Every structure is written in C-alpha cells, then in structure tokens.
Structure 1
Amino acid sequence: MGKIFCLMGKSSCGKDTIYKQILSENSLSLKTLIPYTTRPPRNEERNGVEYYFLTEEEQQKLERQGKIIELRAYHTLHGIWKYFTVDDHQIDLEKYHYLIIGTLESYLKLQEYFGKEFLVPIYVAIDDGERLQRALNRERIQSEPKYLEICRRFLADDIDFSKENLKEAGITNTFFNDNLDSCVRKIISWIQFNL
C-alpha cells in the first residue's frame, strides 16, 4: 500500500522549494496531489500546477457533490480564502506513494479520511526572522503586494504550529531548513525509511 507524505510548516519556511527538490529525486517515484484554492494566484503560479484555482461557486458545487475531503477557510484581509483537497481520483494508494504540501489541519483531516497508517508527516522549521524576510522578499515582487496578509499569516502560523498542536498531532520529527541541501537529504532519507 502507498503512503502520503505530508510536507508542512509555517509560511515561507521553504516548503515549495523542498517539495520540488524531493520530487526531482527519481528513485522515490512519488506522485503529486494538486490541491484546490479559492484564493487568487500569485504572479508565478499556474492553474493545475501549484493549485487548481476555483471560484467560490465552483468550490460550493464540489461541496454539494460530497467531493471535498478536507477544507480550510482563512479569514484574510482580502476576504475568505479556502484551501481544500478533493476526491477527484488523483490518489490511488493501491499503486502509488504521494508527496503533498499541507497544514497541520489538513494532515489530521487526511488521516481521518485515508487512515493514520497511510500518512507520514514531514514538518519543516526555520528561524522566524529568516522566514519573515523570505515572505517579504516574495511579496515585494507581486503585482499587488499584500504585506498585511503576511503579518496575519506570520502570527496565525505561530498558533497553528504551536508545540502543543504538533505534539497533539503526534509530530515528533522536525527538519530544520537552515541549510537547504542538508534538509532535503534528511527528508529524502526519512521518506526512504518510511516507504
């Protein structure tokens, strides 16, 4: 049976970069799961690659059809943004292993849906000052920077990924992204150990 490796961590800790590097490790043969969102895409994001970008109406239709596995709604300074996983036949645990990017909340909901034995957490952390600087650098190049949203996310992440919440979710391993290559190597070893 396959496993779902759930890469998670506070915003701007390097999840996207780590995700891409792990996927480039062909020996792992990991499949991807593209999540859905109602938030607007960033400049460099493409529909069907990083996310499926849907309207609120499209999301509600999927919900009425009972196809949403898990959904998180964030009250941002720009309205409610939803992130969700859809039962759209992307996942076949009979045949494949998957790497996804998620949150602590999505990890727990995916555990409920697929079973705890099929989910493997990968929690990434980095110094808060470095994380804030990365978020500012990324936002600065957007056509419409949302600096207040960075501040909201920074504070919300501190609560969402508190030591208590991590412990309650059974997450005991932390991969520190103070050196990208070293962090990626350690995560790849962890994945190989859990295959």
Structure 2
Amino acid sequence: MGKLFCLLGKSGTGKDTVFRALADQQSLNLRLVVGYTTRPRREFEIEGVEYHFVSETAFAALREAGKIIEERCYQTMHGVWRYATVDDGSVDLSTGQYLMIATPEAIDSLRAHFGGTAVVPLYLEVEDGLRLRRMLRREGRREAPDYREVCRRFLADEQDFDCDVLLQHGISKGISNRRLQDCVTQITEIIVQSSAPTDVTGRIIEG
C-alpha cells in the first residue's frame, strides 16, 4: 500500500519549492495530488498543475456530490477563498506513492479518508525573520504586489500553526528548510524509509 506524503508549513517556508524538488526526483516516483480552489489563478500558475481553479458554483456542486475530502476557507483581503482536496479518482494508494501540500486541519480528514498510517505529514520550519523576508521578496516579483495579503497570511499562520494545534493533529516534529538541499535530502530519506516494505514486527525488509 502506498503513502500520501503531505508537505505543510507556514507561508514562506518553501513548500512549493520543496514540492517541485521532490516531484523532480524520478527515483521517488511520486504522483502529485492537485487541489481545488476558488481563488483567482495567478499569472505564473497553470490550470491542473498548481491547482484546479473552479468557480464558487462548481465548488458547491463538488460538496453537494460528496466529493470533498477536506476543505479550508480563508477570509482574505479580496474576499473568501476556498481550497479542497477532492475525491476525483486521481489518488489510488494501491498503485503508488503520492505527494501533496496540506494544512494541519486537513491531516485528520485525509487520515479518515485514506487511513491513518497511509498519511505522512512533513512539516517545514523556517525562522520567522527569514520567512517574512522570503514572503516579501516573492510578493515583490508579482506584477501587482499585495503586501496587505502578505501581512494577513503571516499573522494568520501564527495561529494556524501554533504548537498546540500541530500536536492536536499528531505533528510533533519539524524539518528545517533554511537550506533547500539539506531539507530535500532529509525528506527524501523519510520517504524512502516510509515506503520500504516491513515485516509483521514493523522492521524494514532489506532488499
């Protein structure tokens, strides 16, 4: 049975960069889970790659059909933005390993749907000062920077990723992403070890 590896972390911790680095490692053979969102597509994003971009009406239809595994709703400076993981037939853990970006509150719903041992959270950590500098630098590259939204996300993450919140969702250990290569190496080792076959005692079976 495969695993669903979930990258999570505050804004500016480099989730997208780590995600791409792991996806590019052919030896890991990770399949990517594409989420759904109602927020507008940004200029550099591609439909079906970063997200499936849907209308509020389409999102409501997915919910009505019972297709939503987990969803989040954020009140932003531009209105309500919704995000979700959808049971659209794209994830089959009997055939492979999967990688996605998630949030702490999504982990419980994913475990309930796919099975507790199938979901492996990978929590990225970066010191707040460096994280804020990364967020500002990234936003500054946009055609129309929105620094108010950057500030909102930075402050909201302090609550969303509070230590007690993380523990409530069974996340007790973080992975530093101060240096990208070190971070990717550590996560690669976790993925390889988590994917290795084990015997009835839980010990890894040597190939």
For normalisation by structure 2, the TM-score amounts to 0.91
The CA distance in 2 between the partners of 1:193 and 1:115, in whole Å, is 19
Alignment of 1:9-88 (within 5 A): 9-88=9-88
Structure 2: which 5+ runs fail to align? Answer: 196-207
Query: Residues 97-136 of structure 1, C-alpha deviation per residue, up to 9 Å, x if partnerless?
Result: 1010111111221112112111001000101111111111
Aligned to 2:2: 2
1:18 Cα deviation from its structure 2 partner: 0.5
The CA distance in 2 between the partners of 1:23 and 1:10, in whole Å, is 20
Q: Secondary structure of 2:145's match?
A: coil
Query: Residues 17-38 of structure 1, C-alpha deviation per residue, up to 9 Å, x if partnerless?
Result: 1011111111111111100100
Tell me whether 1:153 sits opposite 2:171 in the alignment.
no
1:144 Cα deviation from its structure 2 partner: 2.5
> What is the percent sequence identity of the aligned residues?
45
One-letter amino acid of the counterpart of residue 78, structure 2 = H
1:172 Cα deviation from its structure 2 partner: 2.2
1:163 Cα deviation from its structure 2 partner: 0.9
Aligned to 1:167: 167
Aligned to 1:116: 116
The CA distance in 1 between the partners of 2:184 and 2:21, in whole Å, is 7
Q: Secondary structure of 1:136's match?
A: helix
One-letter amino acid of the counterpart of residue 101, structure 1 = I
Query: Residues 65-103 of structure 1, C-alpha deviation per residue, up to 9 Å, x if partnerless?
Result: 111111100011110000001110010011111010111
Aligned to 2:202: none
The CA distance in 2 between the partners of 1:64 and 1:137, in whole Å, is 40
Aligned to 2:179: 179
Aligned to 2:200: none
One-letter amino acid of the counterpart of residue 173, structure 1 = K
Q: Is the 8 A contact 1:42 1:142 kept in 2?
A: no
Alpha-carbon RMSD across the aligned residues, in angstroms, is 1.0
Tell me whether 1:130 sits opposite 2:130 in the alignment.
yes
One-letter amino acid of the counterpart of residue 187, structure 1 = I
Query: Residues 32-76 of structure 1, C-alpha deviation per residue, up to 9 Å, x if partnerless?
Result: 110010011222111111000111111011111111111100011
Larger radius of gyration: 2
Q: Is the 8 A contact 2:105 2:169 kept in 1?
A: no
- How many residues align structurally? 195
Q: Secondary structure of 1:132's match?
A: helix
One-letter amino acid of the counterpart of residue 177, structure 2 = N
Aligned to 2:96: 96
One-letter amino acid of the counterpart of residue 133, structure 2 = Q
Structure 1: which 5+ runs fail to align? Answer: none
Q: Secondary structure of 1:144's match?
A: coil
Q: Is the 8 A contact 2:9 2:123 kept in 1?
A: yes
One-letter amino acid of the counterpart of residue 50, structure 1 = E
More off after superposition, 102-111 vs 84-93: 102-111
